[in-house]
Amino acid sequence: MLLMQLTIATGVIVLATGLFLARLSSQLDDQAMRRALAIAQTTASAPGLPDALVRTRPTPHGPVQDQAERIRRATGAEYVVIMDKRGVRWSHTSSEEIGRHVSTDPSDALAGQEVMEIDNGTLGRSARGKVPLRDEDGRIVGAVSVGISYQSVRDRLIGAVPGLLAYAGGTLAVGAVAAYVVARRLRRRTHDLAFSDISALLAEREAMLHGIREGVLALDARGRIRLVNDEAQRLLDLRAEDTGRPLDEVLTPGRTTDVLAGRVTGSDLLTVSGGRVLVANRMPTDDGGAVATLRDRTELERLGRELDGTQGLIDALRAQDHEHANHLHTLLGLLELELYEEAVEFVTEAVGVHRATAEQVTERVHDPLLAALLVGKATVAAERGVSLRIAPGTLLPNRLVDPPGLVTIVGNLIDNALDAAAGTADPMVEVELAADDSTVVLRVSDSGPGIPADRRDVVFAEGWSTKEPPAHRKRGIGLALVRRLAERQGGSVRVADRDGGGAEFTVVLPEALAEEPSGPRLSAAGEPR
């Protein structure tokens, strides 16, 4: 880089010096010709010269020669030649040339024109000025030609070269110092890497950024997107054209934008974007920008919730195992005592409770995934001492557009409701699912302490929770995910007070049901209604 800059600076200075010398040479030539013309004009206006040219003869010691030599010595001209209308010299520096015809064409001057030129003559190359010589009546009687030695012009040009070279050398020295400083600074900024190394690093960076399965988003000091890899485009629903635009313009307002912009600080921050659970980390850079990394934890969160549900089911099954053992011991005792009627009643009552719960769910919720979820949650609720009820107005047909999405919404709301209702005087959770054309309305209420009015918007924010997180994951995602899933389907979610105390969450999904197929409508048992 230093050699390149020095080469460019030297070339520019040499070019500028050459152009300046060419311009200076042209100016010196013009000055010499104008000086010769001025001397010729002054000589032609001398009094008595036209009369002497007419009345006398061209001799080496005549008045015309004497006056011309006096002017030549006074002005420092190389020669002052006065000629008649025939072009014959009446004066010259060399007396042998007097009476001879001039060596150059005098026709323009004898025709009344003033001439400036650089030409070769008997005394060599010179800058010349020629003017017509007129008598008192204005008639042209001859001409005056004055020459300035071109060697003096060249000497002036050569004399200016050392000073010009000194200026050029000083300029080159300043440019060399500046180039050295720039090269040193560039080496520090590039960590002493060669251009080939920088190119290779750039290629490796592009391959790495677009190959890793983690989103990378780089911002400049003004909050504009400087770099975004393929994974970040997928996670944030961005396009390659969004590079260079401010972050707040390409992302909707919310926690994700605040985390990436640095308005929310911390490490491993949870956020929800487009139904995906993301873990974001932001690292500032030296130039005032930042680099943010994003990891998709949607599957981990789903697996974590399934693990929680499985653990709850295992606990419930373990409790049922103990209960079942107690029932078998009781049944064995009744049979050994030959109390057969009491044994039949005992078995009928024990089996009827579980059957009634399953039948109650399947009669009102026809979607198998959702029905299985409610039966499983009822078992978990019973183990925790909470009564899970299905509201009398519940009726949901088996034509859901997105059953897994509704399962996620219902599961999250029931889990939160069970946590809130557990430990109260009369723990209860009620679920209602109603269908109106293509709209599904879900209500989940509990007998817990309820949610204060000033916190009803905060509960849907990512990362906000009043409960201690488990060891394998973080809290504050369930309700945020419920809101995102509802909004993605064009719906909404809100929370209000429940009659009698507690909280009631209402989710409205406008396009949750597919069109009802043509034909007679059937009941749960398959019979026409």
Tokens 């999904």 sit on residue? 509
Of 137 and 462, more confident: 137
Q: What is the pLDDT of residue 526?
A: 45
Q: What is the pLDDT of residue 524?
A: 41
pLDDT digits (tens, 9 = 90+) for 279-291: 888 898 888 889 9
Predicted TM-score (pTM) of this structure: 0.43
**492-497 vs 439-446, strand pairing mode:** unpaired
Tokens 């009491």 sit on residue? 342
Of 229 and 122, more confident: 229
Q: Count the neighbouring beta carbons within 10 Å of the beta carbon of residue 138.
A: 8
* Cβ within 8 Å of residue 176, ≥6 positions away: 6, 9
**Mean pLDDT along residues 168-175:** 83
- DSSP assignment letter at 472: S
For 3, the 3-state DSSP assignment is: helix
Q: What is the pLDDT of residue 443?
A: 92
**Mean pLDDT along residues 454-481:** 62
Token digits for 219?
């911002």
Beta bridge partners of 4: none
Token digits for 299?
């599957």
Q: Which of 449, 481, 313 is nearest to 384 (CA)?
A: 313
Q: Count the neighbouring beta carbons within 10 Å of the beta carbon of residue 431.
A: 24
CA distance 198 to 189: 12
Q: Which of 406, 361, 398 is nearest to 379 (CA)?
A: 361
Q: Are 363 and 524 in contact (CB under 8 A)?
A: yes
Question: What stretch(es) of the chain map to CATH 3.30.450.20?
Answer: 2-156, 213-296
Q: What is the pLDDT of residue 132?
A: 92
Angle between helices 340-364 and 368-383 (to 10 degrees): 130
Q: Are 115 and 109 in contact (CB under 8 A)?
A: yes
**Mean pLDDT along residues 240-248:** 86
Confidence at 444, pLDDT banded by 50, 70, 90:
very high
Token digits for 30?
């013009």
Please report the DSSP string for 19-86 in residue order.
HHHHHHHHHHHHHHHHHHHHHHHHHHTSTTHHHHHHHS---TTSHHHHHHHHHHHHHT-SEEEEEETT
pLDDT digits (tens, 9 = 90+) for 186-233: 777 777 777 667 777 777 777 777 767 788 888 988 889 888 888 888
Task: Using the CB atoms, write b or e for 192-226: b if 16+ within 10 Å.
Answer: eeeeeeeeeeeeeeeeebeeeeebbbbbbeebbbb
If one looks up domain 300-509 in CATH, what number appears?
3.30.565.10
Strand order in the sheet with 428-436: 387-390, 428-436, 439-446, 503-509, 492-497
Confidence at 471, pLDDT banded by 50, 70, 90:
very low
Q: What is the pLDDT of residue 472?
A: 46
- DSSP assignment letter at 521: -
Q: What is the pLDDT of residue 525?
A: 45
Average pLDDT of the chain, as a whole number = 79
**387-390 vs 428-436, strand pairing mode:** parallel
Q: Are 522 and 529 in contact (CB under 8 A)?
A: yes
**Mean pLDDT along residues 122-127:** 77
Q: What is the pLDDT of residue 441?
A: 92
Q: How many residues does the chain have?
A: 529
CA distance 415 to 403: 18
pLDDT digits (tens, 9 = 90+) for 129-167: 999 988 888 888 889 999 888 777 677 777 777 877 888
Tokens 């009564």 sit on residue? 387
Q: Is the pLDDT of residue 464 over 60?
A: no
| Side chain identity at residue 291, one-letter code | V
| Most confident option among 131-135, 300-304, 344-348 | 131-135
Q: Is the pLDDT of residue 315 over 80?
A: no
pLDDT digits (tens, 9 = 90+) for 267-281: 777 777 776 778 888
Q: Is the pLDDT of residue 473 over 60?
A: no
Q: Are 333 and 350 in contact (CB under 8 A)?
A: no
Question: What stretch(es) of the chain map to CATH 3.30.565.10?
Answer: 300-509
For 305, the 3-state DSSP assignment is: helix
Query: H or E segment at 182?
Result: helix 150-189
What are the angstrom distances between the C-alpha of 32 and each of 68, 80, 107?
A: 19, 14, 22
Helices (H) and strands (E) counted in the chain, each on its own, are 14, 14
Q: Which of 142, 130, 113, 131 is nearest to 55 (CA)?
A: 142
Q: What is the 3-state secondary structure (H, E, C) of 335-351?
A: HHCCCHHHHHHHHHHHH
Tell me, which fold does domain 2-156 have in CATH?
Beta-Lactamase (3.30.450)
Task: State in Å, rounded, how far the first CA of the chain is from the last one.
Answer: 88
Share above pLDDT 70 across residues of the chain, in percent, rounded to a whole number: 85
In a 10 Å sphere around its CB, with 0-12 CB exposed, 13-18 middle and 19+ buried, how is residue 48 labelled?
exposed
**Mean pLDDT along residues 97-105:** 85
CA distance 484 to 491: 9
Q: Which of 524, 233, 136 is nearest to 365 (CA)?
A: 524
CA distance 499 to 304: 33
Share above pLDDT 90 across residues of the chain, in percent, rounded to a whole number: 4
Tokens 């190389």 sit on residue? 78
Tokens 């000083």 sit on residue? 170
Give domain 213-296's CATH architecture: 2-Layer Sandwich (3.30)
Q: Are 349 and 417 in contact (CB under 8 A)?
A: no
**Mean pLDDT along residues 243-251:** 87
**Mean pLDDT along residues 227-251:** 85
Token digits for 88?
């014959």
* Least confident among 203-217, 295-309, 356-370, 503-517: 295-309
